[in-house]
Amino acid sequence: MPRFTPYHLDLVRELALSPGQRVLVTSAGPGSEVLAVARALGDRGVVRATDASVEMVRVCEAQVAKADLKSVTVERADAGDVGDGAWNAILCAFGLWQFDDRVALIKKWTPALSAHGKVGVLTWGPPDEGDPFELMAVALKELEPEVAQKRTRIEGDRESMQRMFEDAGLSLVRHTILRHTVTFSSAEAFVAALTEGCTWRRISEELGAERLGRVAVRFYDQVGGPTAPLSFDPAATLAIAARPGSDVELAVRPSVKAPPLSGPQLPEIRDEHGDWVKRIERVEPWDEPPADAPRKKS
């Protein structure tokens, strides 16, 4: 939905992208964030946008062509397809919910980052009471329980995000909640826009017009009727991660060193000669070196 473009713009701004950089946009959907990234990188930048849906690729390609952005290539590919790698940033806006094993996905991104590369994600939540998205989901569950709707929210609190990234070998460097006021002239306009998105597009195709209409009527009953205007400010969680120890640039700070992972570390490789050097540094010069001192290889 174009109304959610401000969230995409926030993500691009927070990542502090620079002209000429290389950026991979996964689960690109219609491509709102793709356009924002391309404009931030300029003509010398490289943008690769991917989506597993043929229809979303078609829509994104049309958007890119209309904007006349020569630096963008759009491909049908899984989110784990990192292409040539060495990306200055990898983005996934509102797409992580599609993947059951998100850690496995991010593990594919981690080695594809440049030395100072960043991963930036957006996910909806925390949820608000009376959120139109939630009300539509409830109406669907009540009237069409056999139609599976995958939750479009994942655990977005700081602890959950930190754990997800660390399990994939990255350190969380930014976590914040975004809100923008979203308005629709009517509840009908909201439903029409919603069913154009990738999640509800599939549901509407499965249900057909008549069954979807019944779900919409149940939703209208909750919001004051089909002609009632809607205005709400849905919360979205933004998170950015980077390689542990790397220096990265963010909009909020010009230079941030990604912290070490807080979880279990890889076992340290023992340097026997180095250990011995540390031991003899603690004895007086006239003391004999330890009998078990290994010889340094020439």
Tell me the C-alpha distance between 238 and 174, whole Å: 8
Report the percentage of the chain scoring pLDDT > 90.
67
Tell me the C-alpha distance between 45 and 35, whole Å: 12
pLDDT in tens, 156-165: 899 999 999 9
User: Could you give the C-alpha distances from 81 to 26, 78, 110, 157, 217, in angstroms and in order?
Assistant: 9, 5, 12, 27, 41
Q: Please provide the distance, in angstroms rounded to a whole number, between the alpha carbons at the two ends of the chain.
A: 65
Determine contact, residues 59/51, Cβ cutoff 8 Å. no
HSE-up of residue 98 (Cα within 13 Å, Cβ side): 18
Determine contact, residues 153/123, Cβ cutoff 8 Å. yes
pLDDT in tens, 163-207: 999 999 999 999 999 999 999 999 999 999 888 776 677 788 889
From the list 82, 28, 36, the residue with the least C-alpha distance to 54 is 28
Tell me if residue 21 falls in helix, strand or coil. coil
Return the higher-pLDDT residue of 118 and 279: 118
Helices (H), ranges, 72-111:
102-109
What rounded mean pLDDT belongs to the chain?
A: 87
Mean pLDDT to the nearest integer, 216-227: 96
Tell me the C-alpha distance between 98 and 295, whole Å: 56
∠ at Cα 171 (175, 269), nearest 5°?
165
The answer on pLDDT for 125 being more than 90 is no
Tell me the C-alpha distance between 90 and 80, whole Å: 11
pLDDT, residue 150, reads 60
- pTM, entire model: 0.81
Tell me the C-alpha distance between 80 and 240, whole Å: 18
Q: With bands split at pLDDT 50, 70 and 90, how would you rate the model's confidence at 98?
A: confident
Tell me the C-alpha distance between 245 and 233, whole Å: 36
pLDDT in tens, 29-82: 999 999 999 999 999 999 999 999 999 999 999 999 999 999 999 999 999 999
Superfamily of domain covering 2-257: Vaccinia Virus protein VP39 (3.40.50.150)
Q: With bands split at pLDDT 50, 70 and 90, how would you rate the model's confidence at 145?
A: confident
Tell me if residue 74 falls in helix, strand or coil. strand
DSSP per-residue codes, 179-207 = E--EEESSHHHHHHHHTTSHHHHHHHHHH
Tell me the C-alpha distance between 174 and 165, whole Å: 12
Q: With bands split at pLDDT 50, 70 and 90, how would you rate the model's confidence at 2?
A: low
